[in-house]
Amino acid sequence: MDSVIVDTDTASDDAQALVLACLTDRLSVEAVTVVAGNVRFDREVENAKYALSLAGAADTPVYEGARGPLLKEFEHAQEVHGEGGLGGDLFPKTGIDSAAGFAPDEIAARCRAAPGKVTLLCLGPLTNVALALARDPTLPELVEEVWVMGGAVNCQGNVTPAAEFNFWVDPDAAKRVVDAFDVTLVDWGLSVRAAVFTDADFERVGTMDTDLAEFFLDSMSAARTHETGDIDSVVQPDGLAAALLAYPPLRERVATYPVTVDERAGLTRGYTSVDVAGVTGEDAHTRVVEAADGDAFIDVLLAMLRDSDPDGALP
């Protein structure tokens, strides 16, 4: 069972990924670190604590990290997730204290204390991980795996034509992390192919009389109208990243390529360069999940919301 630190800019899809990571027996979430991204930082912190409490994991330490990207200016994505990040009507106040310590310091300390044992599941901009790397340049040798939801692999981005949100917010951090670590990438393109929650799926959730189902519907209400206009479906990128980490059988095709990120401001800010044809001659060390079992992923989410048992959806 992987010992996991979840780094998150907790809004609607992050929250579902956090619940999944806590409820599956395949992962052991030892800490949550919060990074600037989707919505106002203090709301992200409360959202993370609320999601953990819904998953029965309220005692999981939540460390506060970077309140902005390394260098760039950025905007939140409230239009996607609703004000506060959980649909626009949910503003939890858990009363739970954050753990003492700065998230990047904690990431580095925990990886140093357990070499080869800690996996990072990164669901937001990579600022905290880049800062942890700056604190301990040996981190790539200490960490077990680094799974990243981010980037747009040879496809249209979701915040500009060139870039996906997490990599656009902090392209400097994304470049440093992708260049330094052997990252496994779950990108926006894969999410659109394998992690779309349709109107029919929402209807199934509507028949479940559970707290998690109610939370899902509330927290997804804004994304449901924003993401695809009036078509009732929502992409679940962070949940997909968590599910692919937890359940290897869902990974249908994984390939390793030279990948880097454009950190420059302007048109191609946050662009993910993926050298599929090997024309750059660069070192291929980034694993890209190119295909995933989307049906199984949706079944995992539905089992989680219905039974609090995502593992029950799989043989």
* The Cα angle at residue 194 between residues 246 and 305, in degrees rounded to 5: 55
Among 16, 33, 38, 127, binds ligand RIB (CB under 6 A): 38
User: Is 164 one of the binding residues for ligand RIB (CB under 6 A)?
Assistant: yes
Contact 303, 313 (CB under 8 A): yes
- Name the residue nearer to Ca ion (CB basis): 31 or 257: 31
In angstroms, the first-to-last Cα distance of the chain is 17
- By a kind-dependent CB cut-off of 5 to 8 A, residue 158 interacts, out of ligand RIB, Ca ion, none, with ligand RIB
Contact 35, 66 (CB under 8 A): yes
User: Is 290 one of the binding residues for ligand RIB (CB under 6 A)?
Assistant: no
- Name the residue nearer to ligand RIB (CB basis): 14 or 64: 14
- Name the residue nearer to Ca ion (CB basis): 270 or 306: 270
Strand (E) or helix (H) holding 239: helix 237-246
- Name the residue nearer to Ca ion (CB basis): 221 or 257: 221
User: Is 166 one of the binding residues for ligand RIB (CB under 6 A)?
Assistant: yes
Residues 6+ apart with CB under 8 A from 161: none
Sites for ligand RIB among residues 100-129 (CB under 6 A): 123-124
* The Cα angle at residue 191 between residues 242 and 75, in degrees rounded to 5: 90
- d(CA 177, CA 104) in angstroms, rounded, equals 13
User: Is 7 one of the binding residues for ligand RIB (CB under 6 A)?
Assistant: no
Q: What does the DSSP 8-state code read for residue 267?
A: T
Two structure tokens written together for 268: 């191609």
Residues 6+ apart with CB under 8 A from 20: 239, 242, 243, 246, 300, 301, 304, 310
Smallest gap from residue 113 Cβ to ligand RIB (A):
27
Q: Which residue is nearest to ligand RIB (CB)?
A: 165
Smallest gap from residue 7 Cβ to ligand RIB (A):
10
Among 14, 106, 172, 262, binds ligand RIB (CB under 6 A): 14
User: Is 216 one of the binding residues for ligand RIB (CB under 6 A)?
Assistant: no
Contact 236, 195 (CB under 8 A): yes
User: Is 149 one of the binding residues for ligand RIB (CB under 6 A)?
Assistant: yes
Smallest gap from residue 238 Cβ to ligand RIB (A):
5
- d(CA 260, CA 175) in angstroms, rounded, equals 6
- Using CB under 6 A, which of the segments 10-18, 47-55, 172-180, 295-303 binds ligand RIB? 10-18
Residue 113 burial (CB count, 10 A): 10
- d(CA 165, CA 126) in angstroms, rounded, equals 11
- Using CB under 6 A, which of the segments 161-169, 200-208, 268-276, 277-285 binds ligand RIB? 161-169
- By a kind-dependent CB cut-off of 5 to 8 A, residue 188 interacts, out of Ca ion, ligand RIB, none, with ligand RIB
Residue 141 burial (CB count, 10 A): 11
Task: Provide the binding-site residues for Ca ion, judged by CB under 5 A.
Answer: 9, 14, 123-124, 238
Residues near ligand RIB (CB under 6 A) are 9, 11, 13-14, 37-38, 123-124, 149, 158, 164-166, 188, 237-238
